[in-house]
A and B are shown apart, each in its own frame.
Chain A
Amino acid sequence: MLDHILSIIIFLPLFTSVVFGIFQVDVKVLKIGAFLSAAVTLILVAWLTFLFDPHATGMQFVEHAPWIKNSGISYYLGVDFLSLTVLLLITLLMPPLYLYMKHEERKGYWYNMMLLQTGVTGAVLSLDLVLFYLFWETMLLPIFIMIGKYGNGMHQYNAMKIVLMTILGSMSMLFSILYIGYMHFETVGTWSFALYDLTDIVFNAETSIFLAAGFLLAFVIKIPLVGFHTWMAPAYGSAPTPAVVIMSSIMAKLGIYGIWRFGFGLFEETLIYYMPIIAVLALVGLLYYAIRAITEDNLRKMFAYSSGSHLSLIALGLILTNIYGWSGSLYLIATHALASAGMFIMIGLVYKRFKTVHISELGGIASRAPKFTFFFAFFALSIAGLPGTGGFVAELLIIIGAFERNFWIGLFTATTMLAAMVYVFWMLQRTLFGPDNSTCQFTDLNTRELVMLLPLVIMLILTGIAPSLFTPMFEPQLSVFLESALHALGGVK
């Protein structure tokens, strides 16, 4: 069983949804099934983490089976520190989300979420390029349906927008993938799309730049970096809460994952060419999104922009290519996912009670619901990087990494301290505090909601107070990966 644990983790939700779909079960049974699949996956991933060896190099729990022999496409899975982080995040977030969705009667929600979990998990564990592409596309479909069918506002338009823009990136990535496979055939004589076979190919400079662009376009749109971002705010604003949580916490991080795994894995030398551009876009994006968020009235869109801002910071940390930048990025991936999920769930709870997510229609929650206020403020402050929460550790590491490179980059990166604070505090002022001008009853959090949110809070505090619990898990492998990346890059930027 251990040999195939990765496959089980990937396909269990899909399997559950297919089986339940074939038998057209009642929604109650479906809910239980979905929750069970998420719980079992979580247990499996926990077991996997327990068995994971931080000091081994290379992939672990590898499964390798040929799939389409003639074209060299294989079914190739494996996990390392990077995949494990994202894997843990998605698996950890699903049960609270299912708790949030407890009263959701529309079956489509449940099927889509399960499909989504499969897609994301598969993307993160694939080591074969075509397999990765398959899962990458699979992620998009449930999101499209969730926004397009169950969303609010101009949801059909926004669904089309996100899909078309993302697919533009995916298409260019597909082109690059196929071309790389072809080059492998040319140089070696057999077809193969497995990642480790392809890293040995030497490209000449111009081809390499174009190929890298194909991949990078897909990832840069996903993150999104400034300039490629116009799908984000409308999509986040129209999407239902479970979709939004996954989009912000997980899918955006997959853009980073892509650059990390494939940019640094396949295209190390070429990446130097793109680093300045990405760095500039990331720094600009940091401030651009934050400034934009200030006057946004819709809470979901405001935190869409916040998400963009922090993801730009993560991208910057990645580009810095030093131990602090990389550690900070990985840490921020984890902590921001948790904080962002918490925040969007809180916004969803506001919507459930008030039927609005517009700040101008809210106010005075603190007087009525102290527990709610605490959680809401806590998540907002985590996003702003308050010391004591994990976000601070991550931002600190990235700032130090930035200063290691260059004073000016450091200066601009440090502005992240200022950026989030303005919109977060003004938002808290208007939604939580002030006179009590709500018209309907605002009940405080009930037990189910507390249970749902508490793990997130605990994790955020733990990552803030005791990072040393977590760093030994990823630091060895990360250092090794960094060494090889630096070696390939040669000099410093």
Chain B
Amino acid sequence: MINLIVILPFFSAFFMALVYLYNTKAKRYVFYTAVGVGTPVVMTILSFMLAYELLNGSQTIHGTLFKWINIGDFDISIAFMADRLSVAMISFITFIGTLIHIYAAGYMKEDDGYGKFFVYFNLFMGSMLLLVLADNPIMMFVGWELVGLCSYLLIGFYHQDAANIKASNKAFILNRVGDFGFIMAISLLFVALGEGGFTFDAIQANIGSVSHEMLTLIGFLLFLGSMGKSAQIPLYVWLPDAMAGPTPVSALIHAATMVTAGVYMVARYSFLYVEVPDVGLFIASIGAASALFAAIIASYQSDIKKILAYSTMSQLGYMFIAVGLGAYSAGIFHVFTHAFFKALLFMGAGAVIIALHHEQNIFKMGGLKKHLKVVYITMFIATLAISGIPPFAGFFSKDAILVAAFASEHYVIWGIATFTTGLTAFYMFRMLFTVFFANKKEVQHLTPIPKSMTQPLIVLAIGSVFAGFLGVNEAYGGSSWINTFLALPDTKLHVSHSSEYMLGALNVILGLMGMGLAYKLFAKETKEPQTNTLLKSIVINKFYVDEIYEFIIIKPLLFLSHLIAKVIDPKIFDGFINLNVWTYRKSGALFGKLQNGKVRYYALYILTGVSAMSFYILIKLGVM
């Protein structure tokens, strides 16, 4: 059964692709919807069945497809492993994925490439599940790369526009830079302990035989992969540009699933990371920096999807703070709750965009509260959740992270994270108020939004409300159920209940302050931020990071390429060869000059030759 979950989407994608390529013009709306949305539904049911089994006390479920390769010690099978961590992940991935597929059926309805879209979307689901359910690092890497490929295909879906293709290239290239680190880590791991088998179980058993330095290196290189995949500093620049893809893509891939793969990876390798807390600290620091950095930029962005993109990057930073400091369950818990409200936010944004005929600038929106009721209410709930207001989901997961940060005595990180909480509330409510409140002029005619788009919003809103209850701390009366379920090697923390209450209260206050400030500034009337001060222009231009990368990396690379083409290749290598050719030619000409047709010279040559021979003979004869 576990094999089926992964194979099914690949087969449906392949099947739909064949049908699509056979005749790309035919609409076949019903067919593509049935197969394209039906598949995730089946996958969700299967995932829940697996989860149910594990909840009832089964051990990890394994399934093998076939042996992939067997050379030397390198013995890998395409095999799957559903332990508690993966089953938790696939449950929400398939569930939210299905909702987004339904949403996409409405969103993409008029598009010519409808069939192609679902091919890619299903391919993505298969790849993501491959990544999560793989039982060895190689298969996980295959899934990892394939989700990158799907991201590339989907971001560049509207491929007539060159800007979209640039964005998708950027995504794939930066992902691959991360993958470069990832594959080095896997290779080093294999070289270190491949003899004992290379499944996650085997690696976990043998991890003690690897030296500490090597583990540090491997941990760092693995995280390099996460930096790319989960858009942390410095490999994040693809995420805002990725918003060029259709909104369902942003919702599924760049909010709920693919970007969280990096966090999942750290949790999966938790047995390694517990040995190297220094790397963990590094991870947490990058997370904190990314969280703050993204929040600052988001506060000045005008494009609704870009705000959400930076928000995702910021929340991912929180997840990395958690897993970096050893609170793996807290990190995964936040992945889980974040998936609900972030997907909801993106889908709501998509609804707004469609309603306003593809307008994405929030300062051109306003006063939509009355006209888009369902969207408004659901997005309001999601915004409350992301700002960490109890009892919504975000409160419990964020709180868990901040408590962990505080308890681990890394106060700088805790401070940054807490401050960012306030900032998060601020920019999120800024967005909400600007879009739905501020009275703009009259509201033009709105495109109606199909039910297939609004109903998933409702489901997700419910999730955003209740999902948090899975991980309530003891301080608040819960039993951290999700922590016990996941059974990850979390560092044990000792925080008194009163400290927890204080921390919780602090977060809520900051959240409310952010909300209030946003209300004051944006609820009544708004104007787009101008780049009139130096500081503002730096922030609005996203700290010029893209330009810096262009300068440090792209320009030198192009320069080097041109250098090789114009100088090194022709002048040095070819030059050496041409030197030879020139030498031959010149010597040839030189010898040619000897034959000038004049008798006297020939007589001279005879003279020279005979004299030389005579001398030689005379010397040999001993006369001279």
CB of B71 within 8 A of CB of A434, answer: no
Q: With A295-B565, A415-B180 as known contacts, state yes or no: A386 contacts B145, CB within 8 Å.
A: yes
A405, B427: Cα distance in complex, Å? 52
- Cβ of B207 within 8 Å of any chain A Cβ, yes or no, is no
- Cβ of A404 within 8 Å of any chain B Cβ, yes or no, is yes
Q: With A165-B577, A429-B162, A433-B162 as known contacts, state yes or no: A403 contacts B565, CB within 8 Å.
A: no
- Cβ of A33 within 8 Å of any chain B Cβ, yes or no, is no
B392 shortest CB reach to chain A, Å: 39
Q: Which residues of B contact A402 (CB under 8 A)?
A: 187
A415, B574: Cα distance in complex, Å? 27
- Cβ of B179 within 8 Å of any chain A Cβ, yes or no, is yes
Q: Which residues of A contact B176 (CB under 8 A)?
A: 417-418, 421
Q: Which residues of A contact B560 (CB under 8 A)?
A: 291
> Contact check: which of B187, B191, B574 meets A414 at CB < 8 Å?
B187
Q: Which residues of B contact A466 (CB under 8 A)?
A: 66, 68
- Cβ of A397 within 8 Å of any chain B Cβ, yes or no, is yes
Binds B, one of A52-60, A347-355, A467-475: A467-475
- Cβ of A442 within 8 Å of any chain B Cβ, yes or no, is no
Q: Which residues of A contact B161 (CB under 8 A)?
A: 434-435
CB of B68 within 8 A of CB of A467, answer: yes
CB of A435 within 8 A of CB of B146, answer: no
> Contact check: which of A294, A393, A410, A475 meets B557 at CB < 8 Å?
A294
CB of B146 within 8 A of CB of A288, answer: no
Q: Which residues of B contact A396 (CB under 8 A)?
A: 138, 183
Q: With A227-B573, A400-B190, A429-B169 as known contacts, state yes or no: A327 contacts B184, CB within 8 Å.
A: no
CB of B160 within 8 A of CB of A327, answer: no
CB of B159 within 8 A of CB of A366, answer: yes
- Cβ of A324 within 8 Å of any chain B Cβ, yes or no, is yes
| Interface of A: prevailing SS | helix
| Interface of B: prevailing SS | helix
A436, B159: Cα distance in complex, Å? 10
Q: Which residues of B contact A380 (CB under 8 A)?
A: none
Q: Which residues of A contact B543 (CB under 8 A)?
A: none
- Cβ of A453 within 8 Å of any chain B Cβ, yes or no, is no
A229, B69: Cα distance in complex, Å? 35
> Contact check: which of B21, B66, B183, B564 meets A292 at CB < 8 Å?
B564
CB of B187 within 8 A of CB of A403, answer: yes
Q: Which residues of A contact B145 (CB under 8 A)?
A: 386-387, 392
Q: Which residues of B contact A177 (CB under 8 A)?
A: none
- Cβ of A230 within 8 Å of any chain B Cβ, yes or no, is yes
CB of B561 within 8 A of CB of A295, answer: yes
A200 shortest CB reach to chain B, Å: 30
B106 shortest CB reach to chain A, Å: 25
- Cβ of B498 within 8 Å of any chain A Cβ, yes or no, is no
> Contact check: which of B69, B146, B177, B561 meets A291 at CB < 8 Å?
B561
CB of A288 within 8 A of CB of B162, answer: no
A294, B554: Cα distance in complex, Å? 11
Chain B: which residue is nearest A400 at the CB level?
A: B187
Q: Which residues of B contact A388 (CB under 8 A)?
A: 142, 146
- Cβ of B72 within 8 Å of any chain A Cβ, yes or no, is yes
Q: With A295-B565, A296-B565 as known contacts, state yes or no: A433 contacts B187, CB within 8 Å.
A: no
Q: Which residues of A contact B149 (CB under 8 A)?
A: 381, 386
Additional 12 contacts, C-beta under 8 A, given A291-B560, A324-B71, A468-B70: A292-B561, A327-B72, A386-B149, A387-B145, A400-B191, A410-B188, A418-B176, A421-B172, A422-B557, A425-B173, A429-B166, A467-B69
The list of the 4 closest CB pairs from A to B, nearest first, reads A323-B72, A295-B561, A387-B142, A467-B69
Residues of B whose CB lies within 8 Å of any CB of A are 21, 24, 66-72, 74, 138, 141-142, 145-146, 149, 156, 159-162, 165-166, 169, 172-173, 176-177, 179-180, 183-184, 187-188, 190-191, 557-558, 560-562, 564-565, 569, 573-574, 577
Task: Give 10 pairs: A residue, B residue, CB < 8 Å, sorted on A.
Answer: A292-B565, A294-B557, A364-B160, A367-B159, A370-B21, A414-B187, A432-B159, A433-B160, A434-B160, A467-B69
